[in-house]
Amino acid sequence: MMQTEPSRHIPWVFALFWGALLAAAGYGATFVLTRHFIAFGGSEIDTGYVLAVAVVGTFVSLPMTGSFAISFGAARCAAIGVGLVALAFALLAQSETLDALCLFGGFALGCGWGTFYLAAPMALSRLAEDTDRAYWFLRFGAFQMAGIGLSPVFGEFMVTRLGMSTRGYFLVVAASCCLACLLLFAFDRRTRRMGPTGRRADLSWLRAIGAVFRSPSITPIVMVALGAATFGGVMTFQSSIVRGAALSPSTYFAVYTVTVVIARWLLAAPVNRLPSRISIPALIATMVVGLCLLFGAGSDVIGSAAHFGSAALFGLGYGLAYPLIQARAVNDVGDPALQNAALTWFVIFYFAGLFGFPFLGGWIVVSFGVEALIVGIIFAGAVELALAFRIGRRFAPQMVKRAGPQ
């Protein structure tokens, strides 16, 4: 397959990047769902059910995305996915409880975000050589994480400082997703004539299950589910974790986001030069330390410092580790024809952890308390750390070529 470096198409690649930022605001808005339901007499369990339905929508959309991306175009699929996210928040804005409209909104959210989350990296991946893929995934991820993290920050500001209802905020998010849809269609129009997105065998994700799961890619694929569980748990229930303390969830979102964006832009090259046996375990260990600091968030003495430190360490560890693990899953499947299949399974496992754990987490918070939730989150991180030492042994050191704008 003929591939072209993204640096030759910078204006249009940044259309993809800014589209990713605005689209990611849709997922970031799910962190405000608990506030929305509590305002109408609900609880964390309501959030859990909405995200559980989103898991179903994700698993419906991912195989369809893998099938249609080759003929319809990955960027177009990503644009349609963002349109579904816009529809989801328009529906959630009209719901006060777990009615049919709310659940359909959750289903549309899962379908849309799953489609975008798989198709957008596919559209970017086909422009990059294997040695450049981690570099561009890190940059793409910086924009995406900015959208995820800043969205709830703006949401908290609009609701608590400007007096906007959560309904109004959800409509603002829907509008941002509509703009992202236009940017992605613009990116598609510019790049669609660059050649085919890949061979049909590249997207045969279901038939490739045996080959992918027997390859070294299975380790990062499992790791991403555990990492996504920690991320989903910490972010979705951040308002519950700091409830009763003089802390704000928006502080955590802001510190985490700023840390991730700065780290991915400034530390990407040095981290990528380190052997995987060192970088990946070290970053996951940093993440776990950040999770442990959540226990201190309720302290009157070290509460603010622990909360701030948790966000920074979690952002540094998880924020840098995720793109490296994603690149490993794609590059180390063995057969280049299976790279899109490996990426598809990677995303499936990611969403299983991202949306699946909050469903369990809502029940844990209501039944056993916030401390039990934190224990569960740390346990998931500890298992991922154990796998990180395995991934470090199995993967050889890789030097990632710097490309594009510095």
7-200 CATH, one of 1.10.3720.10, 3.30.43.10, 1.20.1250.20, 2.40.160.40: 1.20.1250.20
Distance of CA 64 to the CA centre of its chain: 19
* Token pair for 357: 């754990």
Q: Where are the alpha helices (DSSP H) in 29-99?
A: 33-39, 44-72, 74-92
Q: How far is it, in rounded angstroms, from Cα 239 to Cα 13? A: 35
Return the pLDDT at 377: 96
Look at the block and give the residue holding tokens 């360490």. 313
Question: Is a pLDDT exceeding 60 seen at residue 363?
Answer: yes
What angle is formed at CA 328 by the lines to CA 324 and CA 334, rounded to 5 degrees? Answer: 170
Stated pTM of the model: 0.78
Quick one: fold of 210-396? Growth Hormone; Chain: A; (1.20.1250)
Q: How far is it, in rounded angstroms, from Cα 220 to Cα 343? A: 11
Mean pLDDT rounded to a whole number for the chain? 82
Helices (H) and strands (E) counted in the chain, each on its own, are 16, 0
| Residue pLDDT, tens place only, 188-245 | 887 765 544 444 445 467 777 888 898 888 999 999 999 999 998 998 888 888 887 7
- What percentage of residues in the chain have a pLDDT greater than 70? 87
CB-CB contact of 62 with 348 (8 Å): yes
Task: Report which of 365, 339, 332, 223 is spatially closest to residue 281, judged by C-alpha positions.
Answer: 223
| Residue pLDDT, tens place only, 12-60 | 777 889 999 999 998 888 878 888 888 877 777 888 888 889 888 988 8
CB-CB contact of 115 with 65 (8 Å): yes
Burial class (CB in 10 A: 0-12, 13-18, 19+), 97: exposed
Task: Report which of 215, 181, 195 is spatially closest to residue 79, judged by C-alpha positions.
Answer: 181
3-state helix, strand, coil in the chain (%, to 5): 85, 0, 15
Q: How far is it, in rounded angstroms, from Cα 342 to Cα 337? A: 10
Task: Report which of 151, 146, 153 is spatially closest to residue 175, judged by C-alpha positions.
Answer: 151
Look at the block and give the residue holding tokens 């950040």. 290
CB-CB contact of 174 with 86 (8 Å): yes
Q: Where in the chain is the domain with CATH 1.20.1250.20?
A: 7-200, 210-396
| Residue pLDDT, tens place only, 48-95 | 888 889 888 988 898 888 777 767 788 899 999 999 999 999 999 888
| Residue pLDDT, tens place only, 21-34 | 999 998 888 878 88
DSSP state of 294: G
Residues in the chain: 406
* Token pair for 352: 């299983």
